[in-house]
Chain A
Amino acid sequence: MNKFTQGIIFVSLIMFLMVSIVAVVIFFGRTDVDYSKVAFVLNGDSSDSGWNRSLCNGIDEYSESTDISVLTEYNVTEESGHVDDVCEDLIKRDAGVIFLTSYGFTSECKSLIEANPGVAFYGTSSDVKADNYTSYFVRYYQARYLAGILAGMHSKSGKIGYVAAKKNPQVVRGIDAFTLGVRNVNENATVYVKWTDSWSNPNAEREAARKLIEDVGVDLLTYHQNQPNVIDTAEEYGIDSIGYHEAFKGYSDHYLTSVVCNWGALYKELLGEDGAVGTAKDMCWLGLEREVVGLSEYSPAVSNNEMLFIEAAKARILSGKDVFTGLIKDNTGVVRSKEGESITDEELMNDVDWFVEGVEIYVK
């Protein structure tokens, strides 16, 4: 074979290979997203007791009970601009589903969500409307209602403290549901709400709890904060408390139970066993009927009677009569729902800014 022919053949082969490589690159780009690779983006990690630890536990539970391979990105700070990069990296690692577990992540990722129509995003905000974005929420208020029943029955003084971060529909409907529960079993009880203006401020939370105990004389405390600082203070004073997010260990019997979300069940509900999505909707608001929310294991201090009342309330909700049905007056006397009426999800999700009868905002 002379060099000329060899050269021609060689060049032809090389060209052909190049053309086919280009063809492969053009035509064989990634087509199918692997939905069995689920990524979670968190703004903390499991050392962060309360909110983030509960998420971590849920993720663990979900990944252990399924064949899903889970990717996690811990400690991504909101509004740091990092979440975009983190998600891009996850997509590069073939994540087919990405959970944005912190409220602010969604709007930060808006353009990224639109730029990756093949990747399914889940977030706790309805700021983004896209085919590949699903917002999910938890009907925590149902569990708050159950906690309220326990509190109403357990409190001797009828004075119950509620340390809360900020006034938004989520917090307000939690307080309202809790108070409805309390009032359901104790018509004269009052729920004292003290704002801390922060999701996570241990000092402010403890101070608020202390004030409610010392100044108001509450004998049961609950809260809407990320961490269980309020329980610590309640324990110090030897009064009862109901936690949030997590079933905590190491407290006395005064710590009665916690309002919890079963994130593992939620994820399974949203993604199914194999990462496929069972209930893809614009919005998912899951609660007791899917066993996503509830109360954690009771302390021995919780009586059988109390448990029965709680179960009865649960059954009522499951039968179709949700927390915000029937006659509901706010604490200014305005009737928000008449007998035989039911308040819509729309109102509860976005508009509720009033407190039911029995709520007193403690401002001192």
Chain B
Amino acid sequence: MSNKKKVIKEKKGFLIIVGFLAVLLIIGVFLGIRLNSLIINYIESNVKLNASELADKFGEQIDADFKEMTAISKYIEKDYGIKDRLVYNSSVSGAYSVMGLIDINGETVAGDDLNRSLYYGVQESLRGYKKVIYSETEGMLFTVPVYSNDNVKYVLYRLYPVSKISDRFGVESYGGQGTAGVVDSNWKLTVPLVGAPDHDLFYEEEFVNTYREIVKSLTVSSSSAKYLKTENGDYYLFGADVDEYDLRVCGYVPKSVVSKGISLITGLVIWVFGIMFLMIVIGSAFINGAEARYIEDDAIKKAKEEADKANRAKSDFLANMSHEIRTPINAIMGMDEMILRDTKEKTTKEYANLIKKSSNALLILINDILDFSKIEAGKMELVESEYSLSDVISDAVNMVELKIKQKNLQFDIDVDNNLPNRLYGDGARIRQVMVNILNNAAKYTTEGSVTLKVSGEMLFKEVKLRISVTDTGIGIKKDDIHKLFSNFERLDLKRNRAIEGTGLGLSLTQKLVGLMRGNIEVQSEYGVGSTFTVNIPQSIAGDEIIGDFYRRLEEHKAVGEEIKKREYYIAPKAKVLAVDDNDMNLVVIKKLLKYTQIRVTTALSGAECLKLIERERFDVILLDHMMPVMDGVETLKKIRSMTDFPCESTPVIALTANAIVGSREKYLEAGFDDYMSKPVNGQKLEELLLKYIPSKKVTFVTEEELKSQNNKPAEADSEASNVEQAESVKDTTPIKPQNEVKGEAPKAEQSKESTSKEKAGAKRALIDKDVALKYCGGIEELYKQIIAVYIETYDERVDKLKKDLEAEDFEDYRVQVHSLKSTSLNIGATALSEHAKNVEMALKDGNTAFAKDNHDSILKEYEEVLEEIKKL
């Protein structure tokens, strides 16, 4: 990651954290405000309760007065005479008040006349109510009805003059720290405020407004309190109904008095929130740090990925290289086999034998490298099945026996008779391990013996195979033992310079053993010899024991001869569809299957394939992977998504030039039924098809029958006759086409080549036959075929190219050009191929103008090439 990017990312992270904190802060402020209001609510409800209590207390005082008056009224009801004494005895509850009696006409029966402003109270009592009213000038008037039966006859009143009200009814709140009074329904103070205010706040506008709110609340509640913030301090205002009487206790109390202690809660919450804030800051910092580490880890991971990629590239390279090398080796070996078979000259045979030996060594090496690349890529998988242990040992012995004996070493074999013979596992890999350590022993031993000892430890259904190879070779220095299994490492170079090898053998062996859950031990004494012991657990698949191994070895040699024979079959009713964008490949497949008489239909593209399978039933579809426009995998997907067509159950086999490890799995995973690597080997193709072609369509034949069968159709097909005759079915050399080259073929090729060179003269640049032959595995016959196809397809291709250009169908144009590129290269028309490639590339980039500009020139060149090739 670049620093700049990192900085930006860090900045972004920082911003997010800052944003987060900002949100937190806002929430904090928000909650703070809310908390404050909750506290205010809480205090309000406390003040409210207090106001209720004050109102109750005041109510009780009033009740006490009314009780007294009601008692007096009862006396009056019983004996109206009492009224005369009443007036003079008005100091019943202290000398503060005057009492009197008024009749329903408003006449004063006893006591002083009342001021008219107080008459409202009298009227209420006439209706049967106890009433307290207030007049600013007269004071507080208590009235109670005096009954005659159910009707009111008089009203008894008691008047407290203004000056006396406070003393008697003053409402003390909060121990004198609050200010409280009593108001009537018009919010006039009935009982003056009691308290210690510096100046009377009660009638200040803010207060009045707040009291209005309180009055509203009193509609639904008997008491209420409100918080008020003023310039002169914060107050809680309160009001409470006095039951039964149309009066209210109201007042105010400074905030400091009621919120003592409670304000600490705010502090506490702020503190807690602060800590939370801090924790989040620290947490964010930590996360940031973790992120930084994560980024570092990321970098490491990326570096590792890159290294892995490089390693993969290396493995790929190895795999590709080995694949590339194998092809010529196969050619060499095939040729050599020819020479060995045909020549009678002794020295030639000797040379040929040497070539064979070297080739084999090279092939093994290449295979090792391939295996190694597989293991490196983690793509090596064990192919487990039931196998015969004796066969595996026999194979290994056979493979190394000669080498050991050639070195005049003694080869001792000691196989435990009681070992189970039927085992389950990857026998081929076990054999490979065995061969590797035997080879290793043979390599480093100049005199003495090599001893192979196979024993085992039985554990229920498993046997722990113990394969040990002891040699009397040069041994290994103690310091070097740990280097033994490292890749490409060779020990004691000075001394071992003469010894062949890549240094890969033991490393590979160890990896294979590890893969099979086994281990490998080395005991060695420098200059005396070494013992390599391999322990591999294998499952036991049967009761059979090995018994006498030597007898088994003999038997195995005999069987091996038989196995080499191959099965021949014809299947004239079988139909195979081969799909490849390169018609050369299609020709090869057709030719390879000629002897089986299988009917091969070909398609040059995925689209064509889809069209064909919709209409026609095939037994097998061979589908190339690398095709332009729609590749094999894509085509397969389309095939699998199709329904109700004749090829619904037809197996599809992938053909690919990818020889890399894991290809098989990849293709099977993609939905292919099987997989085959190119170049296609005739025998393998036949074997593969045998698996998928319905058995009723297959007729097994002997070698002779096959020959005679094929001679007939061969006559019709003069072009291929040469090939058919050349088919040497006995030969099992891997690359079949080489078999076709027989006897004088190389000579003919040479002569032809020389003549073509002469003829071509100045136009030689058009076709490079060397290149062409290279692509045809040096087989002149194949080359001829390819040329024939090339000529055949000319008209069609030119036609298509022209049409595509006209219709501006550059997608198809590109396909055609792509095909032209490959086929031209196959016939050695390198310049044309290059030209076509350029056009293809341009089209890939969407550069249609280039294609248009080159259309004529490419057609012209194509024509020239065609003319040239016809001469051949």
Contact = CB atoms under 8 A, between A and B. Distances in A.
Interface stretch (B11-19, B401-409, B476-484, B534-542): B11-19
Contacts of B9: 1
A33 B220 contact: yes
B212 interface: yes
Nearest 7 CB-CB pairings of A with B = A344-B128, A132-B220, A341-B151, A277-B219, A320-B123, A120-B219, A342-B152
Size category of the A interface is 35 or more
B368 interface: no
Contacts of B185: 278-279
A285 B105 CA distance: 22
A6 B20 CA distance: 12
B221 A131 contact: yes
B363 interface: no
B530 to A, nearest CB: 52
B16 A1 contact: yes
B105 A4 contact: no
B20 A13 contact: yes
Contacts of B295: 2
Contacts of A363: none
Given A5-B13, A5-B291, A132-B220, A341 B212 contact: no
Contact of A341 (B38, B123, B153): B153
Interface of B: 9, 12-13, 16-17, 20, 23-24, 27, 30-31, 34, 38, 41, 103-106, 119, 122-123, 126-129, 145, 148, 150-153, 185-186, 212-213, 215-216, 218-222, 241, 246, 287-288, 290-291, 294-295, 298
A326 interface: yes
> Of residues A1, A8, A326, A343, which shows the largest number of chain B Cβ atoms within 10 Å of its Cβ?
A1
Contact of B219 (A31, A35, A319, A342): A35
Nearest to A97: B219
A152 interface: no
A337 B151 contact: yes
B126 A277 contact: no
A320 B119 contact: yes
A340 interface: yes
Contacts of B17: 9
Contacts of B215: 276-278, 280
Interface in A276-321: 276-281, 319-321
Interface of A: prevailing SS: loop
A279 B148 CA distance: 30
Contacts of A119: 220
A12 B122 contact: no
Given A28-B34, A279-B185, A132 B103 contact: no
15 contacts: A1-B12, A2-B291, A5-B287, A6-B16, A16-B24, A35-B216, A97-B219, A134-B219, A276-B212, A280-B218, A321-B104, A340-B105, A343-B152, A344-B127, A344-B152
Interface in A43-69: none
Contacts, number: 126
Interface of B: prevailing SS: helix
A320 B122 contact: yes
B126 A23 contact: no
A132 B219 contact: yes
Given A20-B30, A118-B220, A2 B298 contact: yes
Contacts of B241: 280
A16 B153 contact: no
Interface of A: 1-2, 4-6, 8-9, 12-13, 16-17, 20, 23, 27-28, 31, 33, 35, 97, 117-120, 131-132, 134, 274-281, 319-322, 325-326, 336-338, 340-347
A275 B215 CA distance: 10
Contacts of B105: 321, 340
Contacts of A341: 104, 148, 151-153
Contacts of A120: 219-220
A153 to B, nearest CB: 24
Contacts of B126: 320, 322, 325, 342
Nearest to B126: A342
Given A2-B291, A9-B20, A27-B34, A342 B151 contact: yes
Given A118-B220, A275-B216, A322-B127, 10 more contacts: A5-B291, A20-B31, A117-B220, A278-B215, A281-B246, A320-B123, A325-B126, A341-B152, A342-B126, A345-B129
A117 B221 CA distance: 8
Contacts of A33: 220
Nearest to B122: A320
B21 to A, nearest CB: 11
A320 B246 contact: no
A117 B9 CA distance: 56
Nearest to B26: A20
Contacts of A5: 13, 287-288, 290-291, 294
Contacts of B221: 117, 131-132
B148 A338 contact: yes
Contacts of B246: 279, 281
A342 B103 CA distance: 10
A318 to B, nearest CB: 9
A208 B216 CA distance: 47
Given A1-B9, A1-B291, A2-B291, A342 B220 contact: no
> Of residues A16, A31, A134, A340, which shows the largest number of chain B Cβ atoms within 10 Å of its Cβ?
A340
Contacts of B287: 5, 8-9
B148 A346 contact: no
